[in-house]
Homo-oligomer: A and B are copies of this chain.
Amino acid sequence: MKIAVDAMGGDFGPRVTVAGALRAAQDFGIDVFLVGVERIIKNELEKLHYDRAKCTIVDAPEAISMGEGIFSLRRKAKSSIRVGAQLVKDKLADGFVSTGNTAAVVYISRKVIGALQGVERPALALLVPTLRGMSLLIDVGASVDCRPGHLEQFAVMGRVFMESVLGLENPRIGLMSIGEEESKGNDLTREAYERLENSSLHFIGNVEGKDIYSGKADVIVCDGFTGNVVLKVSEGVVEALFHWARREVTRNLLAKVGFFLMKRNLKRLYKKVDYAEYGGAQLLGINGVCIIGHGRSNPQAVRSAVRMARDFVVHRVQERIQAEMAKLGGATHGAKA
């Protein structure tokens, strides 16, 4: 199996991505393509011990910055993201992993690799930690303006993911809304509710923001705008809380001592909720495997992202999605863009 890794991605670039990719190659016995500026990657490789046979550099001299717009992306044919996606398109790689600009990876992967037949909109899925384990939030930012049929497709894709990768049979599907009753929500969620209720999915109704981390549903469906807001608000709350906690601690000596004694536990807690640790989001509904890691990913997280790509290939997730979409067939008629 061959996985292409965007060596230029992430906040720390090749220093982290190359190390992570090599670890994955070694630990999971797969081959990796390191895609990016050859000279820089070589430089990183020289610092590390690795199996040369399992690692190939693919030159991609153009860089894409974290804030780059769609127009400039179109012109860059030699960016590491585009070259990596092209490797998947040409079946030279089985999957692509990037910790680069999420919007750019989604946009380019969709253009280059293309959508699966029957999928109206791709969706970015992310596993989030809950009090009971992990739940899948879908979409977290690939498709921001959605229609009810799109949300139904997201639900189906989420089910396939949870069943095939996590081995969770008939996962509970929840619809992200602002009240438990069917009548609550906006126009989009009310119509999506009806569709989901009439589907063959294990639909458990609306879930509210406060239910996400309680693990009430295994798959939580929403449009990409809402999902992205959920993610970033969660991040903001965690950061603010830890900030306030530190401020509280400096108020008196007892608290300082207490904080010191709890430090290891608090660190573990922070790691638990820091989604840079989780190896990334999965782009579902395109005709190939694409995993997008957090920009803050460390080598360990890059390794996890490569493992996730491998799992996608092994479990043929995208093929299963395609098959489910064919079954859905007429059901999404009317959701055409």
CB within 8 Å of B: which residues of A?
67, 69-70, 103, 130-131, 141, 144-145, 176, 178-181, 183-187, 189, 208-214, 223-226, 228-241, 243-245, 248-249, 251-252, 254-255, 257-266, 268-269, 272-273
Complex partner residue of A262 from B69, B144, B262, CB under 8 angstroms = B262
Closest chain B CB from A279 CB (angstroms): 20
**A300: shortest Cβ distance to chain B, in Å?**
20
Given contacts A258-B260, A266-B248, contact A225 B69 (CB under 8 A): no
Q: List 27 A-B contacts (CB under 8 A).
A: A67-B181, A130-B240, A131-B244, A176-B229, A178-B224, A178-B232, A185-B225, A186-B223, A209-B230, A209-B234, A210-B236, A211-B236, A212-B233, A213-B236, A233-B234, A234-B237, A237-B273, A241-B241, A241-B269, A241-B273, A245-B265, A249-B262, A255-B261, A255-B262, A258-B258, A258-B260, A258-B265
Expressed in whole angstroms, the Cα–Cα distance for A248 and B184 within the complex equals 36
Closest B residue to A178 by CB, please name it: B228
Q: Which residues of B contact A67 (CB under 8 A)?
A: 180-181
B229:A244 contact, CB within 8 angstroms: no
Tell me, in angstroms, the Cα distance from A259 to B259 when the chains sit together. 8
- Known: A67-B181, A181-B67. Is A231-B244 also a contact (CB below 8 A)? no
Q: Which residues of B contact A103 (CB under 8 A)?
A: 179, 184
- Counting chain B CB atoms within 10 Å of each CB, which of A209, A245, A259 scores highest? A209
Complex Cα distance A252/B179, Å?
39
Residue on B nearest A265 in the bound complex, by CB: B248
Contacting pair B209 A229 (CB below 8 A): yes
- List chain B residues, Cβ under 8 A from A232: 178, 208-210
- Residues of chain B within 8 A (CB-CB) of A228 are 178, 209
Q: Which of B70, B144, B211, B244 contacts A269 (CB 8 A)?
A: B244
Name the CB-closest residue of B to A226: B229
Docked pose: A259 CA to B255 CA in angstroms = 9
* A233-B212, A259-B262, A262-B255 known; A144 vs B178 contact (CB < 8 Å): yes
* A-B pairs with lowest CB-CB distance, top 3: A258-B261, A209-B232, A209-B233
**Closest Cβ of chain B: how far from A313's Cβ, in Å?**
30
Residues of B within 8 A of A186 (CB): 144-145, 223, 225
A233: B residues at CB distance < 8 A: 209-210, 212, 229-230, 233-234, 237
A183 CB → nearest B CB, Å: 6
CA distance A245 to B186 in the complex (A): 35
On whether A183 and B213 interact (CB within 8 A), knowing A178-B228, A248-B268, A269-B241, the answer reads: no
Can you name the residue of chain B whose Cβ is closest to the Cβ of A267? B248
Q: Which residues of B contact A235 (CB under 8 A)?
A: 209-210
Chain B residues in 8 Å Cβ range of A240: 130-131, 213-214, 273
Which B residues are in CB contact (< 8 Å) with A130?
240
For A183, the chain B residues whose CB sits under 8 A away are: 69-70
CB neighbours (8 Å) of A176 from chain B are: 229
* Cα distance, A235 to B186, chains bound together (Å): 21
With a CB–CB cut-off of 8 A, which chain B residues contact A249? 262, 265
Interface-central residue, A230, A237, A272, by most chain B CB under 10 Å: A237
